Structure 1
Amino acid sequence: MSAMIGEPLPQPLTLPPAWQGPRARLSLVREGLGPVRIDGAWWPRSPDLVNELPPLLAALAERWGYITHVTVDGSMWLPGASAMVLGGRTLRIIRSTSAGHRHTACLLIRGVGRCDLIVVPPDAPEYQARRLMAATVVRY
């Protein structure tokens, strides 16, 4: 989104620093296996990325620390902010339209690396979602 000269720039969405809601539905590859292509699978509850990211980031904080950027499959999510402020820090959000990001989320962690997740569509039937999540952590 671009702004015309003289227009104020869009402000990032500000959220409370601590997540108090339901936990993220997430399965991760066991630590200590060395480099892997896919770090796990995530099954969000809705296509609203702004509401889904806080529990995901809270779940990943201990293992990966402060995540600075997230790139997601733009076709899976509602349009929204290109940044969020969480705990006083800005998270950049990139909604990709390229085929390389289909059904994935790539989270970048400055000084650490990246976390790549398969994203199970929010409306997937529970039995399919759980099977995919389990298969993802076994396969990779």
Structure 2
Amino acid sequence: MESSRTPAEDPPADAEHSYRMPLPRLALTPGVSHGPLDGAWWPRCDVLELELPSLAAALEPDRCSTVGVTVDAAQWPDAPHTVMAPGRVITVEPTRSAGEEHVITLDCDTVGRWVLLVVPPQEPADEASRLMAAAADPALHLDASAILTR
């Protein structure tokens, strides 16, 4: 019996191989944010160098631009100082500042600054969805700690 394969499993020999990063799980505040958060990000795992390239690509589409990231050192204790991404190097600065818990800040050359609640990767889908919706709701004006404790 011959096994059948889909084109994704068995590309033609002359096809160019390329890896596509999974799209990040994001919920962004519509329009211009006027609150403490611009939305939320729910990473699939806690390895920042695996998750950050797709997040940066989604929020800063210009590959030639610079992206700097500030992360909560407690949430990302092993965060590298640089992360390689297609077409760019992302600089990472861990912080232990009050008010930065469960937050990631991306400073992008062309689109400005994004401040996002980081939903823990192990969070169940229904709870993650609720947290992401709350962080992206422009009417709530809550910071990350307030959203996580609600």
TM-score normalized by the length of structure 1? 0.74
User: Is the aligned partner of 1:117 residue 2:116?
Assistant: yes
Q: Secondary structure at the match of 1:92?
A: strand
Change (3 A) 1:85 1:113: same
CA distance in 1, matches of 2:21, 2:112: 27
Whole-Å separation in 2 of the counterparts to 1:19 and 1:101 = 33
Q: Does 1:84 align with 2:83?
A: yes
CA contact (8 A) 2:29 2:39 kept: yes
What's the counterpart of residue 26 of structure 1? 26
Q: Describe the SS at the equivalent of 1:76.
A: coil
1:37: which partner in 2? 36
Q: Which residue number corresponds to residue 65 of structure 2?
A: 66
Amino acid at match of 2:102: H
Give the C-alpha shift of residue 111 in structure 1.
5.7
**What fraction of aligned residue pairs are identical, expressed as a percent?**
38
Q: Following TM superposition, where does structure 1 have runs of at least 4 consecutive aligned residues deviating by more than 3 angstroms?
A: 33-36
Aligned-residue offset at 1:35? 4.2
| Unmatched 5+ stretches in structure 2 | 1-17, 142-150
Higher Rg of the two aligned structures: 2
Aligned-pair RMSD on alpha carbons? 2.4
Question: Which amino acid is the alignment partner of residue 29 of structure 1?
Answer: T
For structure 1, the 5+ residue unaligned runs are: 1-17
TM-score between both structures, scaled by the size of structure 2: 0.70
Q: Offset of 1:94 from its aligned partner?
A: 0.9
Instruction: Give the number of aligned pairs.
Output: 121
